[in-house]
Each structure stands twice: as structure tokens, then as C-alpha cells.
Amino acid sequence: MKLVAETDYYRCEIDRSKNRMCLIYKGLWASQKQVPDFVRHHAETVNQLSPGFTVLADVRQMEGVVISDIIEECQRYAIKAGIRKAARVYAKPTFMEVQAERMHERSGMTSRSFYSVEEAEAWLDET
């Protein structure tokens, strides 16, 4: 894994061998002031991958998201860049899972929820 960006609220990494972006979300995203560089860091990460890339979004450390508009903006950017699919990993069923599914529906991104990183990775590895 290559680290691209890290703050108290997220970590962006890439796995070039799998053409995969790994996002680790943390804390409660209540204000854009908490994540002022997220859109830029997300784009920098996506731009290091090739079309057909996948995303592993680990939200097990995230407490909630109020500012979903910036996440949807990043999803639309990823779609334009050629994302194939995204997997979201949760520690347990949560309201954030429903919220994320709605965001993915609005942006048009193919995604699925999981409760284990291993299962998410296996799904992402499928052609």
C-alpha cells in the first residue's frame, strides 16, 4: 500500500498491484471544516490509478456523516475516472449503510456492503 494522504478523519491509500484505492474513514463528519482537503486528496488518489480501478471503503471507524455532498462529489469524479466498483466495510449494521446506499444510487456507482474486509476484497477481486 502506498499512502497518499492522511488526516484525523480519513486515510487514502493505493494498491497499484490491484489497481485499488483504499479509503479509511474516521470520526464524525459534521462540517466541511473538518475535511477541507478531502476532495483534493480523493482526486489525487484516483489520478494514480487506471480506469477499471476498485475502491475499498473502510467505514468501521466512522461515527457518521452529515456532509454527504462532498462524498457524492468524489463518487461522481471516480465514475468519470473509470471506477469499476466499490465495497464498503462496516463493523455491524448501521444507519450509515442505508445512507451510503442512497448516495451510491444518486451518483450511479456500483457498490456493495460487507462486514469483513476479506469478503469485500474477494468481491472486488472478481472480474
Which CATH number applies to 2-125? 3.30.750.24
pLDDT at residue 121 in the model? 97
* Structure-model confidence comparison of residues 104 and 44, the more confident one: 44
Q: How many other β-carbons are positioned within 10 Å of the β-carbon of residue 94?
A: 16
pLDDT surpasses 90 at 72: no
Question: In which band, very low, low, confident or very high, does the pLDDT at 45 lie, cut at 50, 70 and 90?
Answer: very high
What pLDDT is stored for residue 14 in this prediction?
A: 98
Q: pLDDT for 27-44, tens place per residue?
A: 999 999 999 999 999 999
Name the pTM for this structure: 0.90
- The domain limits of the chain are 2-125
Grid-cell match 464524525, residue found: 28
Residue type present at position 112? R
